[in-house]
Amino acid sequence: MAGTLNKDDKRHIQVGLRSNAIGAKVYTMLDEGEEQGVVSSCTLLFANQPTTTDTVTIGADVYEFVTAAGQVADDANLAVEIKGSAALTLVELVAGVNAADANNQHANINNVADDTPALVNGTENLVADVIGTTMRIRSADAPGGNVVSGNPSIVLAEAITDAADIWDVGDVNMNTLSGRDQDNKRTAVAEVTITAAMITNDLRVDFPFVPVRWSAEVHTSAGVVRPAGTDAYTIGSSGIVVAFGGGASPDIQATDVLVLQAWS
């Protein structure tokens, strides 16, 4: 029966291909041409030592900075020990995000309610590392796991005394960083030479699917990329509608070539 393979069908095919050496080679060739998605990531500047009770929030996890032999102010918080330098403290925070402690308890910091060891392991599916004086977090398949493409809905916040130490996207949701899951995506490219008659009306370029994303590039007849003008693009039904800005530079002009790429 004719039809389009869905993601579940594809997984079964992938498993079958990888079950032998020849199939694995075929799978590798297919995978190289596959749309891989985009990893969602952001960084927290951490150039200075935090103050006791400062916090960093990543989704459901609130990391609280505490001096050695101290107590977290809230037993629900994850303990991060303030070490001898900002760099060493940052390593402690990264280890927490990566759920690196096999026992999930801090040796030197206790809960305030009952003096039991405070927890240290994060629970969000992220992997963290140190880049200079920043902590980078990326979407992963488990806390501290393998990097994966995706667009996780994870709240980011910080209450750090030093005003310079902040998330590079502010206190917002991580999905503002426009990650995207890996998927089978249909794609199509249209190349249209613009005429004067087109510019007096909206141009509609239809595709054999409903586009959800698109990109546009305009070249002069000599092949030079034209800078963005006031021409407007919208998705309409199964096509991209172009409302021309008037036909004068830097807007699209007659004899220009418009290249539209769309994805399902």
What residue type is 37 in one-letter code? Answer: G
List CB contacts of 174: < 8 A, sequence separation 6 or more. 40, 42, 59, 137, 139, 152, 153, 154, 155, 156
43: its two tokens: 């960084």
| Residue 236 pLDDT level (bands cut at 50, 70, 90) | confident
pLDDT-based confidence at 64, cuts 50/70/90? Answer: very high
- Report domain extents, the chain: 41-177, 187-263
- Residue, of 257 and 248, whose pLDDT is higher: 257
pLDDT at 21 over 80: no
Q: What is the pLDDT of residues 83-98, one digit of tens each?
A: 999 999 999 999 999 9
| Mean pLDDT value across residues 224-246 | 89
Q: Give the CA dihedral 177, 182, 183, 186, nearest 10 degrees.
A: 70
Least confident of 42-51, 68-77, 174-183: 174-183
Q: Average pLDDT of 137-146?
A: 93
| pLDDT average, residue stretch 16-20 | 51
Give how far Cα 51 sits from Cα of 63, 65, 131, 163, 211, Å.
13, 7, 22, 12, 49
| Contact criterion met (CB below 8 Å) for 239 and 202 | no
End-to-end CA distance of the chain: 22
Average pLDDT, integer, range 92-112: 97
pLDDT of 31 reads 47
Give pLDDT, residue 32. 46
Q: What is the CB neighbour count within 10 angstroms for residue 139? A: 26
Residue 43, helix vs strand vs coil: strand
Burial (CB count <10 Å: 0-12, 13-18, 19+), residue 223: exposed
Report the candidate in 170, 93, 96 with the shortest Cα–Cα distance to residue 133: 93
114 pLDDT higher than 60: yes
Short-list 145, 136, 160, CA closest to 80: 160
Residue type at position 48: N
Please tell me the distance from the alpha carbon of residue 45 to that of residue 43, in angstroms, as a whole number: 6
CA distance 245 to 249: 9
Q: Quick check: 130 pLDDT over 50?
A: yes
pLDDT at 238 over 50: yes
Average pLDDT of every residue of the chain = 84
